[in-house]
């Protein structure tokens, strides 16, 4: 979409400026296509979905690979019920274990199993190669820094104005 292209007045995006509409459509095209390609690659090469990979990677942010379901849901930006259903499926496949939290008996802890760690180690090299090839190869070093700063700023705005609590991020 170029700056001089106007959206039909009935489009919900007609309220955006041409520059905003161009940026938004560029983002939407990128994230939808990239998620498709990453999901396809993970399924073909490792037998897991991008959603599976998102859960497994999120759990690695904790030293013991363990989080309460609600914290996991916040980390990956999913509803708690979706997270709960998905981790139960991953438990059935042997990649996670679910246990009552020792700290809060009402909560459930999700832990990466040895099989989950192994699947993640197997899937990651090819997945990272795809990410490098499709995402980073199109950027120069200046563009990478600018994009990173812009994405961090947008993320902070989403956290401040969104409805999910801020996840506990580890450096």
Q: Are 105 and 98 in contact (CB under 8 A)?
A: no
Q: Look at residue 33 and give its three-state secondary structure.
A: helix
Residue with tokens 């690979």: 65
Is 77 part of a structural domain of the chain? yes
Is 145 part of a structural domain of the chain? no
- φ/ψ region of 68 (left if φ > 0, alpha if ψ in -120 to 50, else beta) reads beta
- Read off the pLDDT band of 171 (50, 70, 90): very low
Is 155 part of a structural domain of the chain? no
pLDDT value at residue 129: 97
d(C-alpha 118, C-alpha 101), whole Å: 24
Is 170 part of a structural domain of the chain? no
User: pLDDT tens, 121-163?
Assistant: 999 999 999 999 999 998 988 899 999 999 999 999 999 999 9
Is 116 part of a structural domain of the chain? yes
Is 40 part of a structural domain of the chain? yes
- Global confidence as pTM: 0.86
Residue 76 maps to which CATH number?
1.10.10.10
* Full domain range(s) for residue 30: 12-128
**What's the structural domain count of the chain?**
1
- Read off the pLDDT band of 106 (50, 70, 90): confident
Neighbours of 59 (CB within 10 A): 25
Is 136 part of a structural domain of the chain? no
What stretches of the chain show up as alpha helix (H) in DSSP? 18-46, 50-59, 69-76, 80-92, 114-134, 141-161
User: pLDDT tens, 18-64?
Assistant: 899 899 999 999 999 999 999 999 999 999 999 999 999 999 988 88
Is 3 part of a structural domain of the chain? no
Structure tokens at 133: 């090839």
């Amino acid at each position: 979409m170029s700056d001089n292209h106007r959206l039909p007045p009935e489009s919900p995006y007609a309220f955006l400026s041409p520059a905003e509409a161009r940026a938004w459509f560029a983002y939407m095209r990128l994230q939808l296509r990239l998620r498709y390609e990453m999901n396809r690659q993970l399924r073909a090469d490792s037998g897991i979905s991008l959603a599976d990979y998102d859960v497994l990677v999120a759990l690695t942010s904790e030293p013991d690979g363990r989080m309460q379901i609600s914290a996991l849901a916040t980390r990956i930006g999913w509803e708690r019920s979706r997270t709960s259903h998905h981790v139960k499926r991953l438990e059935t496949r042997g990649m996670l274990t679910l246990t009552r939290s020792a700290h809060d008996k009402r909560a459930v802890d999700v832990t990466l199993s040895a099989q989950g760690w192994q699947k993640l180690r197997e899937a990651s090299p090819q997945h990272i190669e795809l990410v490098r090839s499709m995402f980073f190869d199109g950027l120069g070093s200046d563009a990478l820094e600018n994009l990173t700063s812009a994405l961090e700023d947008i993320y902070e705005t989403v956290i401040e104005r969104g409805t999910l609590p801020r996840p506990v991020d580890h450096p």
